Structure 1
C-alpha cells in the first residue's frame, strides 16, 4: 500500500491522463502520478501580464498516460466550458484546466477597481472548450489573513 496526503487542508483529485488530453495545473498542484505521466512547465504566453500576474504565469503541464493525483487548497469547484465560453477568476483561484482551454492574465479595468476593489490588479480569463477546476482557499490568501492576527513586535 502507498499512502500520501495533502500538505494543506484541501482536496486531492485523482485524474486519468491520456495521450492528447493534457492537463494544466497550478505550480503547486502536482502531488504524485504513475510512471507514464510526464510533468513539464507551462508558461502563460504574454510575458508582461504573466510576470505581474503572479500565480497564473508558471503552471505545470501533465501529459502522457496514467493516473495523476493533484492537491488543491480548500474546496474544489468544477466547470465545463463550451467552445468560446469564458470564466473570469481572481488570479490564484485557478487550480487546473484541461489543455483544450486557453488562459490569459488581464489587468482589472479601471483605477477605482484596482485600488478599492480589494481583489488585486489582475484576473485570469479561461476560455473553453474544456473542464476547469477552481479552488476556494489558495494558501497565499490564507497566509495573508493569518498574518493580520500575528503580533507586530511593537
Structure 2
C-alpha cells in the first residue's frame, strides 16, 4: 500500500492499493474511491468488538475497502482541522490514542478499548478512563487536533502536559497526573488543577489545538437570540 497525505489544514489521506489489499475506517470517513474498490460494512470481529469501539469513542461498525485489481485508490478525510498522523505499527508493539483518534488503517491493525489503570489519571487526565489501543502490523492513520509535535522520551524522562494535548503515545509510556503546585497557580494560572505527566521510554505525540479548546474559543462568537 502506498499513501499520500494532502489538503493542508483540512487533510485527506489517499491510499493506493494493490489487488487484495484492504483499508478499514470508521463509518463516514471515506471521501472517494475508484470503481475497482469493494466496500463491506461489519463489526470487524463480532458484537463485543463493535461495542468496545463504541465505548472508546468510535463507531460500532467499520467499513472495509478491498482492491479488486492493482492501483485502485480510496481516500479518507479528517472531520476537523488538523493533521493526519501516519504510524507504522509492528507486531508486538501498541499505540494508545485519545478518543476519536482513529481515522483509517490497513486491515492488519486491530482497534480495541484501553482502560487507564490509575484512578487519578482517569478522573483528571483530560480524556477519561477509556482510550483507544491499536495493535497489529501495518499502517495506522490518526486524526490530530491542530499541529502535531512528536517527543521521544528516554527511560525515566518525564514531560508535564496540559490536559487534552496528549494525542497518542507508545504503550510503554506511563501516564499519570500531577496537581498544579501553589494555590495562586491553581486559582489564577488558567491551566486547570492538574497536569498530565508522561514518563518514558517511548514516543509521545502532542496536539496543539484540542477540539474542546477550539470549541471553547468559538462559542463566544456564536450569535445568541436574546429576544425572549
TM category (shorter chain) comes to over 0.9
Partner of 1:111: 183
How far does the alpha carbon of each residue in 1:28-86 deviate from its partner, in whole angstroms, 9 at most, with x for none? 11111112111111222222441243315321110111211101011101111100001
Mapping 1:1-154, distance limit 5 Å: 1-55=73-127, 57-154=129-226
Is the partner of 1:67 in helix, strand or coil? strand
Unaligned runs of 5+ in 2: 1-72
Q: 1:48 to 1:88 in 2, by over 3 A?
A: closer
**C-alpha deviation, 1:110, in angstroms:** 2.7
2 CA distance for matches of 1:65 and 1:49? 29
> Highest relative contact order (Cα 8 Å, sep 6+), 1 or 2?
1
Aligned to 2:51: none
TM-score by length of 2: 0.64
Report the number of matched residues: 154
CA distance change for structure 1 residues 18 and 91 in 2, over 3 Å: closer, same or farther?
same
Greater radius of gyration (CA): 2
SS of structure 2 residue aligned to 1:3: strand
Give SS of 1:55's match.
Answer: coil
Structure 1: distance between partners of 2:121 and 2:138: 33
Cα RMSD for the two superposed structures: 1.5
TM-score by length of 1: 0.92
* Unaligned residue ranges in structure 1 (runs of 5+): none
